[in-house]
Structure 1
Amino acid sequence: MIDVRSITISEDGLSLISAGMSGSEPNDQGSYDGEVRVWDLQSGELTSTIPGLFDEMSVVTIGDDRQTLVVSDRHHNIQLWNLETEEPLQALPDIGYFTELLILSQDGQTLITANPDDQTVQVWTVESQQVVQSFNAGHEAIVIEGSDRPVEVPGRRSRIALSNDGKTLATTGLDKIIKLWNLETAELILTFPTDHEYPIHSLTFSPDGETLASGSSDNTVKLWNREGELLHTLTGHESTVFSLQYSPNGKILATSDLDSTVNVWNPTTGELIQTLAEEPVREGETAASLSFSPNGEILAGVNYDGTIKVWQVTR
């Protein structure tokens, strides 16, 4: 089983990039090395491999710019890599904690990290490797995916969401409360309780930043405006909603759950447009990550068993 942790479709729409474990023998330290793989999106053939950028204990995510890999390792270091040149970019050495909560801004200039132990959010300028804002999010323990009901352990990056303009951060925790923050001033803009029955496992802004989507272990997705008003409740999943992804133009929202069901919605009307996957190969084969092509016509999803699936999306 190959552990694929993050995927993206290239800017030209021709390739799919995945970051995960190599599946080879352990290294000299007894851990497994990670690698980045590049696939031809049409044929599904592997075209290139970039080894040695991280190991199995690292958290990796591909930035929204579709070309930067962010690696958080167990020694509290964060390293950025350019996937086109395979060259290291800036590094943040020993930030003081290991984090799975990472967001790189769309322009690649700002990195958001969160300390799972004390809920401190830090805003870094990538070029200078300096903290420019720091504040406590003040939630109960942030939840982690892995079961259909939450447990109080450190969470992953899906519990924080950054608007595309890089100015607003949304945070949530076991308290089922969403907070919106001004990242330029570290000011709390808005706090609003949700009526999710269970904690929120996924969070994302629409491309225009005007709508926030939250997915929960109550099997629903809720859409909110910037005033914290509920716009729609999307029902159609039968297990925890773990992944949310808007198309680049914001006209489509894709959601996936613990049972590997992937639904495609019209976020304006709340209408279910299409169900792409309903039958997992085996129990627990969750669709862990979703990525749209730049034109919004192709959606890729990866299961926790390493299987990558690609669909044509009805528009």
Structure 2
Amino acid sequence: MSFYNGFPEYVPVAEKKRRAAEAAKKLQKKNANVWPVVITGRTVATTWWGKAWCTNLESYADYSNRIDRGRSYVRHGSVLDLQITGGKVEALVQGSSTKPYQVEITVGALSDSVWQQIIKGCAGKINSLQELAGGKFPAGLSELFTTKGTGLFPSPQDIRFTCSCPDYAVMCKHVAAVLYGIGARFDHDSELFFQLRNVKMNDLISASLAAQSQEMMGKSGRRGRRVVDDGDLGSTFGIDLDQGVEASSSAAKGTVKKVTKSRNSVAAKATTKASAPKAAPATGSEATKPRRGRPPKNKAVAEVDQVAPDATPPKSRRRL
């Protein structure tokens, strides 16, 4: 790096990004696993886990005055590589030297007592791994995770770091850049946060789903207790529920038989009435309808006319 009047030469931001990208490509040619931190937006982190990590660091007075030094470094692409394995972070940061500096950060494991309290607090409140990874959980869990001393995020006492640069500051800008780069890395994979704290994300999911299952079983058990057992009911009232069931079933069968018999008799009558032939009309005066305009003949006169139509009428009926 050249100097002008004792001060480093000013390098535009675009030039810094170009130089960092070239250095990252050279490293990737040697090692395909090199993973640089690339910031595309205005903020370092965009997801809940990344933002929460950066906010936690900035909330401590020990870091608030020094960590800002690394924000511009990580935004310019100076973190050429960042790897998280267990509770350890190893990174390469491009500085004033042509050779990148080596940064190593270790984060203490989360205590078992704090982890168990967090698991209890998450019981029944997380539905899936996707919700936890995406930071889509109730606000109560957000407070539980970020509470200082009892949450998931580390305090300055839990973080140790070293850098190969000649800067004697307690926290150099290269270390600060890597701390911000860790938050940006969580945007790609939030499970890396749990690896950094040496805990398992699936433990929270398992505890939450188990609590939901127990709650559902408890509700079903309360509904089941409302139903009185048959044996207890029989002993209480001194009755035999089996006989009662048989009697009720027999009565029901008798009722069904009566209804069936009644329906069959009605159907038989209807069938007989429909199939019976019509009766022939009766003969005689009762069946003979009087013709219109002429009264019916007397039965006696009709019989005389039929027996002797040509006989001479009686004298009483002769005309004088």
The TM tier, using the shorter chain, reads: under 0.3
**Bigger relative CO (Cα 8 Å, ≥ 6 apart):** 2
Larger strand fraction of residues:
1
Structure ID, larger Rg: 2
Larger helix fraction of residues:
2
